[in-house]
């Protein structure tokens, strides 16, 4: 199992978190998604590793931006 962490900019509420979780969980291969509103951290578990561009695209589809990978 692979785990990747991203920082998402622009989330301000629980609905934001739900939107990001929903979009990222639809990426093929993703098995788990955790989003922390307070820190903006998005943790993605997948099997096998998922292309970072697909995760970034899913976050953008939800209306937010990936700032960096810590």
Task: Please name the residues in contact with 49: beta carbons below 8 A apart, sequence gap of 6 or more.
Answer: 2, 4, 29
User: pTM to 2 decimals?
Assistant: 0.92
CA gap 46, 28 in Å, rounded: 9
Asked if pLDDT for residue 69 goes beyond 60, the answer is no
Domain definitions of the chain by residue range: 2-68
Contact 10, 58 (CB under 8 A): no
Maximum Cα–Cα distance across the chain: 31
Confidence bin at 15 (pLDDT 50/70/90): very high
Q: What is the mean pLDDT of the chain?
A: 94
The answer to whether 2 and 54 have CB atoms below 8 angstroms apart is: no
Architecture of domain 2-68: 2-Layer Sandwich (3.30)
Model pLDDT, residue 68: 61
Give the tens place of pLDDT for each residue, 33-67. Answer: 999 999 999 999 999 899 999 999 999 999 999 99
């Amino acid at each position: 199992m692979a785990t990747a962490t991203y920082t998402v900019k622009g989330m301000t509420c629980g609905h934001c978190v739900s939107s990001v979780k929903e979009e990222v969980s639809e990426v093929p291969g993703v098995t788990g998604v955790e989003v922390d509103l307070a820190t903006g951290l998005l943790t993605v578990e997948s099997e096998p590793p998922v292309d970072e561009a697909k995760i970034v695209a899913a976050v953008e589809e939800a209306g937010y931006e990936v700032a960096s990978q810590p």
